């Protein structure tokens, strides 16, 4: 009998929680004209720790969730998240995946790529695109700082959720207590 494998659901639920908390932080930081974008952090755990099938399911669902809630063309986040996921998946055998340090580095690099790619997609709609780039780089700076602060907690949260579900993140096999 085949056992149900909820790893994709655990990671997608954690990503939903982080996206909601990021929305709250953006709401309260709006008075300071700061916007946080943590898209790279939403991909890092699924790409590094889960097997390819479970990780891609979690990334695709996360991309659809972000597309539904963010002011981007529908499918842009899905396409970019999938592209970053596959790129990290391709190179993950060459690097240590267990530690949080490499997860933070992957999240920072993924966030840098996603932020710049989405900025190029959206800056044309701005009435003065030249002036928008200063704001974009300021938001990128604060987003990268936020990832440095939040990433250790978020990676530990996902590891702990897998532990509570008694599932090994990479294999999906039950873990004995």
Tokens, residue 74 = 């529908």
Q: What is the pLDDT of residue 1?
A: 38
Average pLDDT over residues 134-150: 94
**pLDDT above 90: residue 144:** yes
Q: DSSP for 143-172? A: HHHHHHHHHHHHHHHHHHHHHHTTB-TTT-
Backbone φ and ψ for 30, nearest 5 degrees, come out as: -65, -30
Q: What is the Cα–Cα distance from 8 to 14, expressed in whole angstroms?
A: 10
Long-range contacts of residues 27-32, Cβ cutoff 8 Å, at least 24 apart: none
Q: Which helix (H) or strand (E) holds 89?
A: helix 76-91
What is the pTM for the complete model shown? 0.90
Q: 21-71: per-residue pLDDT in tens?
A: 999 999 999 999 899 999 999 999 999 999 999 999 999 999 999 999 888
Average pLDDT over residues 146-175: 90
- The hierarchical CATH code for the domain 7-164 is 1.10.1760
Q: What is the pLDDT of residue 129?
A: 67
Backbone φ and ψ for 167, nearest 5 degrees, come out as: -125, 135
In the 8-state DSSP scheme, what is residue 32?
A: G
Q: What is the pLDDT of residue 125?
A: 65
pLDDT-based confidence at residue 177 (cuts at 50, 70, 90): low
Q: What is the pLDDT of residue 30?
A: 93
Higher pLDDT, residue 163 or 121: 163
Q: 73-129: per-residue pLDDT in tens?
A: 889 999 999 999 999 999 888 887 777 889 999 999 999 999 999 888 877 666 776
Q: What is the pLDDT of residue 161?
A: 93
Where exactly are the structural domains of the chain?
7-164
pLDDT-based confidence at residue 72 (cuts at 50, 70, 90): confident
Cβ neighbours of residue 160 closer than 8 Å, sequence gap 6 or more: none
């Amino acid at each position: 009998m085949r056992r149900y494998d909820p790893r994709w659901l655990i990671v997608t639920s954690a990503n939903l929680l982080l996206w909601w908390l990021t929305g709250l932080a953006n709401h309260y930081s709006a008075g300071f004209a700061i916007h946080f974008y943590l898209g790279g952090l939403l991909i890092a755990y699924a790409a590094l720790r889960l097997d390819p099938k479970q990780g891609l399911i979690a990334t695709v669902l996360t991309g659809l969730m972000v597309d539904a809630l963010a002011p981007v063309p529908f499918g842009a986040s899905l396409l970019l998240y999938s592209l970053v996921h596959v790129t990290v998946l391709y190179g993950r055998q060459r690097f240590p995946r267990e530690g949080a340090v490499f997860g933070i580095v992957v999240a920072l690099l993924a966030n840098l790529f996603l932020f710049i790619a989405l900025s190029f997609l959206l800056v044309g709609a701005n009435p003065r695109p030249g002036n928008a780039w200063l704001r974009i780089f300021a938001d990128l700076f604060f987003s990268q700082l936020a990832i440095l602060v939040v990433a250790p907690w978020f990676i530990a949260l996902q590891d702990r959720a897998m532990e509570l579900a008694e599932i090994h993140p990479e294999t999906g096999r039950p873990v004995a207590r």
